[in-house]
Structure 1
Amino acid sequence: MYKDYNMNQIILPMDLAYKLQENDIAFAVNDMVEAIPDEAFSGFLRTTGCPAYHPRMMMKIILCAYTQSVFSGRKIEELLKDSVRMMWLAQGYEPSYRTINRFRVHHEVQELLRQCFVQFRCQLVKEKVIEDESIFIDGTKIEANANKFTFVWRKSVERYSTRLVEKSNQLYEELLEHEIIPAIERDSQKELSNKELEEVVQKLDETIEGYDNRIETTQDTQKRKQLRSERKAPKQYRKKFKDFAARKQKYKQDLATLGDRNSYSKTDHDATFMRMKDDYMKNGQLKAGYNLQIATEGQYTLAYDIFPNPTDTLTLIPFLNTIEKGFFSLPSFIVADAGYGSEQNYDDVLNNRQRMPLITYSMYRKEKKKAYRNNAFNVANWHFDQEGETFICPNGKRVNFRYTSNKTDKAGFQRTFKVYECEDCSECPLRAQCTKAKEGNNRKVYYNEKWENQKAYIREVLSEQKTGEIYGKRKIDVEPVFGFLKANLHFTRTSVRGKKKVKNELGFALMAVNLRKYTARQSHQPILGQQNGANYRKAIIDTVFYLI
């Protein structure tokens, strides 16, 4: 005996939500997008042309597809025809892959994603899933959608540009020396500008044209042969100066594209070449990528941004600015690893933002080791005479204060050092172990008093029980987000190019991670107090069938 199965029987169309499980992720996606204020969608409204798909629906289907590790526009289009949850979210609509791709790189989508993160965090705070007293910050490198071997390096551009200037000046002097062209007016004697190079080419064209006219009007064969021979040099110079003008313009554009970076990719100008952790051959292969920075709590991403810096040190301050401007107010504790520990970052968090930085520095763990504390040649272990303001070296010599030095780094931050110099290192038996200074020079010690005070403050703060426990949560809070993103969601490479587009795509991916964790950890609770769609529709359908 079989259950009734008849393909020729007509059945009533039923709400697809009835087929979804009670805590299906589609309901979490639906409730969160519905919580976005209507004002956020005003930028998509058009008064002319064919009516567009509602941006709420487009947000829902893209977010839902990303939770299923589907990032291709064509595959999202296929899901709309196969997946029950996608058909329910789209309510029967089937936008093409072109429409999907155009929407997710739209400039207004960035504001919608920001609203999603804000609403999601508000709900987590309301449900007391997160404590809202600290945030954990970390970064990872995401490979860009760019060719691996189309790199442009700042050092190479600057070197080639310098050679071009030297060569063009040399050839210009040769032109004047051989009286091939008259001198031109120059703004600077150091290098020829693009306008001046073009002017030289124009003068050479006139010289070559003069030779052409003379060749045409001369009937003597030997004279014509001589003129052709004389015309070769101006032609060769003209070819070289045309090349100089084109290359100079190219180098100028390359430097403008580089900005403050050291490299960029020709196929994605916003991507910078970085060392990735998946260097299986261990040959130092560089890949074009972006530095993704996130702020988490409870293993949920609450804010994000992308940067071209390969290292994390210079990203903390602009990332904190992004959080305060677009996401939420900073909590009491800012937690990060040693990659963010610097004098500038400590100064900004403590003085400008009035928060407590639970951020270690590069030598924090090494300083705790016995070998470091027992190293007699380490300045931190030397005796310091407060009255005489001198250090005492392992050989008993006095290292006296000499002068104050100010150094400015690439970011424009100025650090102040007190420079101490040993009174005499010439006949010291410990010289080879103590210093690498050349013979005749004494050992110098550069002491940054402000930096040392900051490190002492961090050591004291992290030694306390409460703050130590908060810092101890860092690895289990922020690191699993990257693991989930790359290992579970399989998002390891972007599919779009350009910083703004990449930022949108990463926003979808990170919110997909949040939604998957939210639905996996607990039975679905309506976001922002909305009624559970599955239960509501199930109750209506059951009532209709009961009445029938």
Structure 2
Amino acid sequence: MFKHYTMNQIILPLDLEVKLQENDIAYAVNDLVEQIPDEAFASFLRETGNPAYHPRMMMKVILCAYTQSVFSGRKIEALLKDSVRMMWLAQGYEPSYRTINRFRVHQEVKELLRQCFVQFRCQLVQEKLIEEEAIFIDGTKIEANANKFTFVWRKAVEKYSANLVEKSNQMYDELLEKEIIPEIERENLDELSTEELVQVVKKLDAKVEEYDNQIEASKDVSERKQLRSERKIPKQYRKQFKDYVARKQKYQNDMAIFGERNSYSKSDHDATFMRMKDDYMKNGQLKAGYNVQIATEGQYTLAFDVFSNPTDTRTLIPFLDKIEESFFKLPPYIVADAGYGSEQNYVDVIEHRERIPLITYNMYRKEKKKKYKNNAFYTTNWDYNEETDSYTCPNGKNLVFRYISNRKDKDGFTRTFKVYECEDCSSCPFRSQCTKAKEGYHRKIQYNEKWEQQKEYVRQQLSEEKTGEIYGRRKTDVEPVFGFLKANLHFTRLSVRGKEKVKNELGFAFLAVNLRKYIARSG
């Protein structure tokens, strides 16, 4: 005996919510988006044209699709016809993939995503799933939606630009020497600007036109032949200078795109070529990507931002600014790995934000090892005499204070060093082990008093039981988020181009990770 089954009987439409399980992720998606205040959707209203899909509904279907590892607009459109939870969230509407793609990169969606992160964090606080004691910061590199070998390098552009300046100056001098064109007014005698190159082209045009008129007016065949021969020279110069104008404009445009970076991709100008862990060339080939920074607690992403520079050190300060401006007030402890340890970052966190940085520095682990402490040639192990302000080297020689040195980095931050120099290294038996200075020069050491105080402060903080326990949670808090994003959600490559669009897509991705973890824990 079988259960009754027929394809010819009419079945009344049922509420699709009945088909969903009690703890289905669609409910979490619905609850989160419903918490966004109505005022946040006001910017989507239009007085003319066909009524648009409600942005609240669009947020739900895209976010739900991301929780199912579906990132393609066409596949999201297909889910709306196949998936019960997607049908319920859309309430029967079926927006096309074009509508979906346009919506998720819309500039106003950025504010909706920010509201989702804020509301989700408030929910975690109310349910006491996070303690608001510390945030754990880390970064990862995600491959951009850019072609593999579309790199443009700053050094190459600077090299070709310098060659262009040299050749254009040389050719301009030739024009004046041959009296082909009159001299033009120049602001900089070392380099012809784009406008000045255009002036040269115009004068050459006038010279060629003058020859054309003479040829047309002449009736003598030999004279016309002579004029054509003379016309070749300004025409060749004109062709060359037109090429110079185009190349000059291109190099200027390249430098504007670079900003402070050393490379960019022709497919996605905001993407920078970085060294990735997954290397399809197996030869250390750089790939276009973005540096994604997140702040977590309880393995939930509470804030994120996207940067084009590959190093983490220079991202901490702007990322903390972003958190305070858009997401939440910073907790007492800022936790990060050694990649963020720098004098500038310590000054910002301790003095400007009045927070405690549980951030190690590059030599933190090495300095704790017995091998490092027993090495007599490391300057940190040398004896210091406060009265004479001098250090004593392994050979018993004194390194006395000489002068103060100030260094300014790319960001304009100035570090101050005290420079000490040895009295005499000429007959030292340890010279080859102690210094690489050339013969005739003595060993110098540079001591950054501010930096050493910060390092001591960090060592003291991490040696305490409470703060040491908080820092010990770093790996188990922030690292699993990236693992879940890439391994479980299969989000390893971006599908949009441009930093602002990338931020929107990553916002959906991190919210999807949060919701899946939240449902798994509550279930």
Give the TM bin, normalised by the shorter chain: over 0.9
Which is worse superposed, 276-285 or 68-77?
276-285
**Counterpart of 1:197?**
197
1:100, distance to aligned residue in structure 2 (A): 0.5
Which is worse superposed, 217-226 or 75-84?
217-226
1:120-173 Cα distance to aligned partner (Å, 9 max, x none): 111111111111100000000011111111111111111111111111111110
SS in 2 for 1:289: strand
1:33-55 Cα distance to aligned partner (Å, 9 max, x none): 00111111111111111111111
**Counterpart of 1:188?**
188
Match runs of 1:21-40 below 5 Å: 21-40=21-40
**Counterpart of 1:472?**
472
**Counterpart of 1:171?**
171
Following the alignment from structure 1 to structure 2, what is the Cα–Cα distance between the partners of residues 47 and 172? 59
SS in 2 for 1:335: strand
Which is worse superposed, 142-151 or 212-221?
212-221
**Counterpart of 2:451?**
451
1:229, distance to aligned residue in structure 2 (A): 2.2
Following the alignment from structure 1 to structure 2, what is the Cα–Cα distance between the partners of residues 228 and 374? 84
Following the alignment from structure 2 to structure 1, what is the Cα–Cα distance between the partners of residues 289 and 298? 27
SS in 2 for 1:478: helix
1:178, distance to aligned residue in structure 2 (A): 0.9
SS in 2 for 1:506: helix
SS in 1 for 2:445: strand
1:90 maps to 2:90: yes
**Counterpart of 2:155?**
155
1:6-49 Cα distance to aligned partner (Å, 9 max, x none): 22222222111111110000000001100111111111111111
Amino acid at match of 1:365: R
1:139 maps to 2:139: yes
Following the alignment from structure 1 to structure 2, what is the Cα–Cα distance between the partners of residues 319 and 135? 12
**Counterpart of 1:99?**
99
Following the alignment from structure 1 to structure 2, what is the Cα–Cα distance between the partners of residues 377 and 272? 39
Amino acid at match of 2:175: L
Match runs of 1:374-413 below 5 Å: 374-413=374-413
Which is worse superposed, 493-502 or 211-220?
211-220
Match runs of 1:50-449 below 5 Å: 50-449=50-449
Amino acid at match of 1:2: F
Following the alignment from structure 1 to structure 2, what is the Cα–Cα distance between the partners of residues 430 and 462? 36
| Greater relative contact order (Cα < 8 A, sep 6+) | 1
Amino acid at match of 2:474: R
Amino acid at match of 1:61: V
Following the alignment from structure 1 to structure 2, what is the Cα–Cα distance between the partners of residues 515 and 427? 69
TM superposition outliers: structure 1 runs of 4+ over 4 Å: none
Following the alignment from structure 1 to structure 2, what is the Cα–Cα distance between the partners of residues 93 and 279? 42
Long gaps (5+) in structure 2: none
Calculate the aligned-residue CA RMSD, in Å: 1.0
SS in 1 for 2:3: coil
1:319-357 Cα distance to aligned partner (Å, 9 max, x none): 000000110000010000000000000010001111000
Following the alignment from structure 2 to structure 1, what is the Cα–Cα distance between the partners of residues 448 and 99? 57
Amino acid at match of 1:464: E
Q: What number of residue pairs does the alignment pair up?
A: 523
Amino acid at match of 2:314: L
TM-score by length of 2: 0.99
Following the alignment from structure 2 to structure 1, what is the Cα–Cα distance between the partners of residues 410 and 198? 35
1:235, distance to aligned residue in structure 2 (A): 1.2
1:77, distance to aligned residue in structure 2 (A): 0.4
Following the alignment from structure 1 to structure 2, what is the Cα–Cα distance between the partners of residues 267 and 83? 34
Following the alignment from structure 2 to structure 1, what is the Cα–Cα distance between the partners of residues 300 and 423? 57
SS in 2 for 1:462: helix
1:221-251 Cα distance to aligned partner (Å, 9 max, x none): 3333332222222111111111111111111
1:102, distance to aligned residue in structure 2 (A): 0.7
SS in 2 for 1:46: coil
Following the alignment from structure 2 to structure 1, what is the Cα–Cα distance between the partners of residues 96 and 203? 57
Amino acid at match of 1:207: K
1:282, distance to aligned residue in structure 2 (A): 3.9
1:219, distance to aligned residue in structure 2 (A): 3.5
Amino acid at match of 1:489: L
Following the alignment from structure 1 to structure 2, what is the Cα–Cα distance between the partners of residues 403 and 352? 29
Determine what percentage of the aligned residue pairs are the same residue: 76
Following the alignment from structure 1 to structure 2, what is the Cα–Cα distance between the partners of residues 333 and 80? 44
Amino acid at match of 1:183: E
Following the alignment from structure 2 to structure 1, what is the Cα–Cα distance between the partners of residues 332 and 133? 6
Amino acid at match of 1:153: W
Following the alignment from structure 2 to structure 1, what is the Cα–Cα distance between the partners of residues 41 and 143? 31
1:258, distance to aligned residue in structure 2 (A): 1.1
Amino acid at match of 2:200: V
Amino acid at match of 2:312: D
1:281, distance to aligned residue in structure 2 (A): 4.4
Following the alignment from structure 2 to structure 1, what is the Cα–Cα distance between the partners of residues 498 and 264? 12
Following the alignment from structure 2 to structure 1, what is the Cα–Cα distance between the partners of residues 294 and 9? 54
Following the alignment from structure 1 to structure 2, what is the Cα–Cα distance between the partners of residues 409 and 370? 33
1:177-219 Cα distance to aligned partner (Å, 9 max, x none): 1111111111121111111111111111111122222223334
**Counterpart of 1:535?**
none
**Counterpart of 2:9?**
9
Which is worse superposed, 3-12 or 239-248?
3-12
SS in 1 for 2:364: coil
1:308, distance to aligned residue in structure 2 (A): 0.7
Following the alignment from structure 1 to structure 2, what is the Cα–Cα distance between the partners of residues 414 and 265? 32
Following the alignment from structure 2 to structure 1, what is the Cα–Cα distance between the partners of residues 67 and 49? 33
1:482 maps to 2:485: no
Following the alignment from structure 1 to structure 2, what is the Cα–Cα distance between the partners of residues 84 and 120? 25
Following the alignment from structure 2 to structure 1, what is the Cα–Cα distance between the partners of residues 35 and 307? 29
TM-score by length of 1: 0.94
Following the alignment from structure 1 to structure 2, what is the Cα–Cα distance between the partners of residues 5 and 210? 93
Following the alignment from structure 2 to structure 1, what is the Cα–Cα distance between the partners of residues 51 and 220? 78
Following the alignment from structure 2 to structure 1, what is the Cα–Cα distance between the partners of residues 239 and 499? 38
Long gaps (5+) in structure 1: 524-548
SS in 2 for 1:180: coil
